[in-house]
Amino acid sequence: MAPKPIAVEQERASKRRNQVLEAAARCFRLYGFHGSSMAQLAKEAGMSVGHIYHYFENKEAIIDAIVQKDLDEWLASIQHLLNSSNIFEDMLAQLDDPIRDWLDPDYAALQIEILAEAARNAKVVAIVRASHDKIRDTVGELLRKGSSRPLTQTEIDSKFDLIGALCDGLMVRAIHSGTLDRDNLLALLRPTIRFILEY
C-alpha cells in the first residue's frame, strides 16, 4: 500500500513527541529529572521504553526539550504587554495569574528542578541563559517604555533583577513555607513592585 502523506505523518510524530514531553513533565514534577526513570516516562506516556528513543536521542534531550518548552511559554506570556499603552498599570493589574503559578507547588517544583539541573549541567544552563537573556531584553523594553523618566541600562538591569528576584523568590517560598496567604502577600507585593518601577 502507498505510504501516507508526509504532513499526516509529521503531525502524528509531533503528537507522539508531545505525548512524551507531557508525560515527562508530570514525572519530573513528581520525582525530579534523575528520580524519574525512562521506564516511568514510558509508562506515563503509554509507550514502550525503546520507542521513546525514536523521538529523543536520550534522556538528556528530553530534559532539554522540557526546559526549552517551559521557558518559551514563559517568554510568550509576557509578549503581549509590549503592545500595552499603560504598561506598568497593566503589569500590576495582571499580577494575579503569574502569582498563582509561582505559588503552585507543582509548577514551582519543576522550576526548581530546572534550576538545580542548571547549576550543574552545562547544556541546561546554556538553554536557561539564552531564554533568560531574551526575557531580560523584553522586560527591559517594557521598563523603558513604561517609565516616566529616561533610565540608564544599569537602572533597567537592577529593576529587572529585583522584580525577577521577587518572582523567583515567591516560587521558592511556595516550596518551603507550609502555606502562603496569597491575598495578604499581594497586598504588599503590588506596592513594592510599584516602588521599584517608579524608583
Partner DNA sequence: TATGAATGAGATTTCATTCAT
Partner DNA sequence: CATGAATGAAATCTCATTCAT
Residue ranges that bind DNA, judged by CB under 7 A:
1, 3-4, 9, 12-13, 16, 34-39, 47-51, 53-54, 58-60
38: contact with a copy of itself by CB under 8 A: no
Residue 70 near residue 110 (C-beta atoms within 8 A):
yes
Please say which residue, 61 or 125, places its beta carbon nearer to a copy of itself: 125
Closer Cβ to a copy of itself, 20 or 71, answer by number: 71
- Total residue count of the chain as it appears in this document: 199
Distance CA(42)–CA(52), nearest Å, equals: 7
47: contact with a copy of itself by CB under 8 A: no
Taking each helix axis as running N to C, give the angle between helix 153-176 and helix 105-118, from 0 to 180 degrees, rounded to the nearest 10.
120
User: Please, which residue, 80 or 199, has the CB nearer to a copy of itself?
Assistant: 199
CA 1 and chain centroid, separation: 44
Is 39 a binding residue for a copy of itself by CB under 8 A? The answer is: no
Q: What is the size of the binding site for a copy of itself (CB under 8 A)?
A: 53
Q: What CA–CA distance (Å, rounded) separates 81 from 193?
A: 16
Report what 196 binds from a copy of itself, DNA, none; CB cut-off 5-8 Å by kind.
a copy of itself
Residue 170 interface partner, choices a copy of itself, DNA, none, CB cut-off 5-8 Å depending on type: a copy of itself
Q: Which residue lies nearer to DNA by CB, 54 or 129?
A: 54
Rule CB under 8 A: is residue 101 a binding residue for a copy of itself? no
Any idea of the CA torsion for 181, 194, 144, 156, to the nearest 10 degrees? -70
Element containing residue 130 per DSSP (H, E): helix 122-146
Least Å from the CB of residue 85 to a copy of itself = 26
From 12, 34, 51, 100, residue interacting with a copy of itself (rule: CB under 8 A): 34
Q: Which does 95 bind (CB under 5 to 8 A by kind): DNA, a copy of itself, none?
A: none
* Residue among 52, 66, 64 at smallest CA distance from 24: 66
List the beta strands (DSSP E) in 21-125. none
Phi and psi at 57, nearest 5°, equal -60, -40
